[in-house]
Amino acid sequence: MGDSAANRPNHDMHGAEKLSSGASSPRLTSRPPNVAGTDVKDTHSNPQLGRNHEYFEGNTVFCLGGRLQNTRHRPINIGTGLLIVLPAALFFGACAPYLWQHLSPAVPILFAYIFLISFSSFLRASASDPGILPRNLHQFPPADENEDPLRLAPPTNDWTVIKSAEPNVAAMEVPTKFCKSCNIWRPPRAHHCRLCDNCVETQDHHCVWVNNCVGRRNYRYFFTFVTSTTIMGLYLIGASLAQIIIYSRREGVSFGQAVDHFRIAFTLVIYGALGILYPVALTGYHLFLMARGETTREFLNSHKLLKQDRYRAFTQGSILRNWLVVLCRPRPPTYHRFKDRYEEGDQRFGERRNLRGDRMPTSDQDMEMHSVRPFQGPVSLRNEASTPLS
Ligand SMILES: [Zn+2]
Ligand SMILES: [Zn+2]
């Protein structure tokens, strides 16, 4: 398929050559094993240089030494966290003791378990790396002084051939773009988020409720969060209602009198019924998207095209396989290791930030940036850059 595509006369394959990974990989020096009897010194890590996250150029804020991260934007996620924690605290304070005594200890214990799943997946979705791609991997060589200023810039759009899982299509071409902010050729399905100012691998969408992008590394946490919050809401309604009904039967009073006695429990029933609507809708929407093998972004963008022009390049051919491939795929490692020590000349990073997030320009930093060898680009781009236009 790749060969036939390249041989088509009207097909532009500029920049589509397969690249060797050596030229574009960031300089991640692996530490040599400490052989007995030899004194292996780490020549790159310098404790005074700080951690990787202090040099990160995206619009991201870090805490706990780079262990937690969030978008440097409105921290709406604090409100989202409170929307889960407050009703849970009210339930544990006002309903759990009664249900423990008069129904079963299993009822509050199971609620605690669902709450823990919901809150921990919320934290992971909100404060972990969604799959931010490393920057500056494919820098174009700087323009020559004598070069014609009207010379056309190298192309920033391209096509990548991917293997298709559909039985009647062997392969498909999907668009790939060069990101001018991150200086990288984005892999298929990656997008640049304007709020985070990062390219994110298999970006689903930017979620304002968790104040983070939802991408390849945290989609499953996000989905677990909306699903478990839906279950928690249903459980909250059921358990609070049970408390009122049990009280009215045991004491032989009307439902209205029982509500009057357990006002917090009734408030939780109302809160659960209203608060559950959004997570229910999101759970349904994401089950639908996963079944199609599309991200939120791909699904919404496909509606800009005519129906006959829409295609799903990443579907696995069946609903079940599409669900499995998202929910059971391994979580890839982070590309940045934000809490690791910074190593001099690491081209993925920029100038150091201080605690407030402002840049700390140093003269050494300029030298470091100059010492980074620019990425030479695909062969066709290289030729184009060196051959002046006639
Ligand atoms: Zn980008
Ligand atoms: Zn984002």
Q: For 239-264, how does the pLDDT look when each residue is reduced to its tens digit (9 = 90+)?
A: 999 999 999 999 999 999 999 999 99
- Report the pLDDT averaged over residues 44-63: 80
How far is it, in rounded angstroms, from Cα 45 to Cα 31?
10
Nearest ligand for residue 183 CA: 1
Q: Band of the pLDDT at 377, cuts 50, 70, 90?
A: very low
* Helix ranges, the chain (H): 2-7, 21-24, 76-90, 96-102, 106-127, 219-251, 255-261, 263-275, 277-292, 296-302, 319-327, 363-371, 379-386
pLDDT tens-digit profile of 90-126?
999 999 999 999 999 999 999 999 999 999 999 999 9
Q: What is residue 355's predicted lDDT score, i.e. its pLDDT?
A: 61
Q: Tell me which residue of 126, 335, 79, 83 sits closest to 224, measured CA to CA.
A: 126
Give residue 162 CA to ligand 1 midpoint distance, Å. Answer: 21
How far is it, in rounded angstroms, from Cα 337 to Cα 360?
21
pLDDT tens-digit profile of 287-312?
999 999 999 999 998 888 887 777 78
Q: What is residue 310's predicted lDDT score, i.e. its pLDDT?
A: 79
Q: Band of the pLDDT at 38, cuts 50, 70, 90?
A: very low
How far is it, in rounded angstroms, from Cα 242 to Cα 268?
12
Give residue 192 CA to ligand 2 midpoint distance, Å. Answer: 8
Query: 160: which 2 tokens?
Result: 């990548």
- Report the pLDDT averaged over residues 330-353: 83
Give residue 191 CA to ligand 1 midpoint distance, Å. Answer: 7
Give residue 335 CA to ligand 1 midpoint distance, Å. Answer: 14
Nearest ligand for residue 59 CA: 2
Nearest ligand for residue 185 CA: 1
The answer to whether 312 and 294 are in contact (CB under 8 A) is: yes
Q: Band of the pLDDT at 16, cuts 50, 70, 90?
A: very low
Which residue type occupies 250? R
Residue 58 has pLDDT above 60, yes or no: yes
Higher per-residue confidence, 223 vs 389: 223
Strand partners, 161: 173
- Report the pLDDT averaged over residues 188-210: 93
The answer to whether 264 and 94 are in contact (CB under 8 A) is: yes
Q: What is residue 372's predicted lDDT score, i.e. its pLDDT?
A: 45
Strand partners, 162: 172
How far is it, in rounded angstroms, from Cα 374 to Cα 389?
22
Which residue numbers are catalytic? 207
Give residue 348 CA to ligand 2 midpoint distance, Å. Answer: 19
- Report the pLDDT averaged over residues 168-175: 82
Query: 11: which 2 tokens?
Result: 């097909």
pLDDT tens-digit profile of 323-333?
999 999 899 99
Give residue 386 CA to ligand 2 midpoint distance, Å. Answer: 37
Nearest ligand for residue 208 CA: 2
Query: 90: which 2 tokens?
Result: 């009210």
Higher per-residue confidence, 107 vs 379: 107
Q: What are phi and psi of 128, to 5 degrees?
A: -115, 165
Q: Tell me which residue of 335, 272, 129 sits closest to 213, measured CA to CA.
A: 129
The upper half-sphere exposure of residue 7, i.e. CA atoms within 13 Å in the direction of its Cβ, equals 4
Higher per-residue confidence, 388 vs 199: 199
